Amino acid sequence: MKTVYIFPGQGAQYSGMGKNMYEQSEQARKMLEKANDILGFRITDVMFGGTDEELKQTKVTQPAIFLHSVVMATIMGDNFRPDMAAGHSLGEFSALVACKALSFEDGLTLVSKRATAMQKACEVEPSTMAAVLGLEDDRVAEICESVNGVVVAANYNCPGQLVISGAIAAVDEACEKLKAAGAKRALRLPVGGAFHSPLMEPARAGLEKAINETAFAEPVCPIYQNVTAQPVTDPALIKANLIAQLTAPVRWTQSVINMIADGATDFVEVGPGKVLQGLVKKTNDNVNVSSFIF
């Protein structure tokens, strides 16, 4: 029996996130106040009482989810004993900090730089993402390749559920072709840009220098990274995969399948929401899923 800790990505935020931890744990309070200092604004004010619109700001969303996850993993103390770990997109940074591959301060700084770089990339060309339900992975990728313009499979979330990403016109054309091919749904998502697509190249280039200049250590357990869906412990390879992650697809389905093949029996979601638990169960209903409740 092996336990996997999984860390959510963008979209899991909600108003009030982290407030209980801040009020009830001195350790959590110190970490969150340090985060306010590092970021240069009181992100805790937005986390605890911000509107949905305020929480959707890229400079807030990514650090907020990262902080919720990492603080929660920290205050779990000796109860946090991962045999493996993985994070969905942004959540990969949370997993790396929770598993000691990256310091809290460096992780938060990189997440903040990542958010800024992604926001700037979104402003270069109008772009978007769309959810696709009910088609096989290979068929979705094949149809995306048939479209003129940039559109790719970006998030392999669970069997029969993908997200495509690219230029607005190309995504719209792909959605029509996907529906014609039998997709149950192919619907644009309310996001600010084409994450995990070639259109994030400006962000990847901007983040590469920051990642390369940051000290990474060997994590306490293998991290199944998004780019390859394979277990990684070598700091140099972790860095290379993190740099590639912004323009490469999130292979979450493949990561879950590989972790189960390597003995994973229990998946514990650490952070806001329960989205990843649902994706794991849709991939394999025979494993246990839960979340750490504070």
Pick the last residue of a domain from 133, 153, 188. Answer: 188
Q: What is the CATH number for 65?
A: 3.40.366.10
Q: Are residues 115 and 10 in the same domain?
A: yes
Token digits for 222?
């293998």
Question: Is pLDDT at 43 greater than 80 in this prediction?
Answer: yes
Token digits for 207?
């983040």
Q: Are residues 51 and 157 in the same domain?
A: no
DSSP state letter for 273: -
In a domain, 193, yes or no: no
**CA torsion, points 208, 201, 55, 224, in degrees to nearest 10?**
-60
pLDDT on residue 11: 86
Q: By residue range, what is the domain housing residue 172? A: 124-188
Give catalytic residue positions. 89, 196
Q: Are residues 46 and 168 in the same domain?
A: no
Nearest Cα residue to 66 out of 97, 22, 100, 101: 97
Q: Are residues 217 and 266 in the same domain?
A: yes
Q: Are residues 244 and 128 in the same domain?
A: no
Distance (Å, whole) CA 60 – CA 124: 20
In a domain, 108, yes or no: yes
Q: Are residues 90 and 148 in the same domain?
A: no
pLDDT on residue 245: 97
pLDDT on residue 206: 85
Over range 236-245, report the average pLDDT: 97
Band the pLDDT of 292: cuts 50, 70, 90.
Answer: confident
How many folded domains does the chain comprise? 2
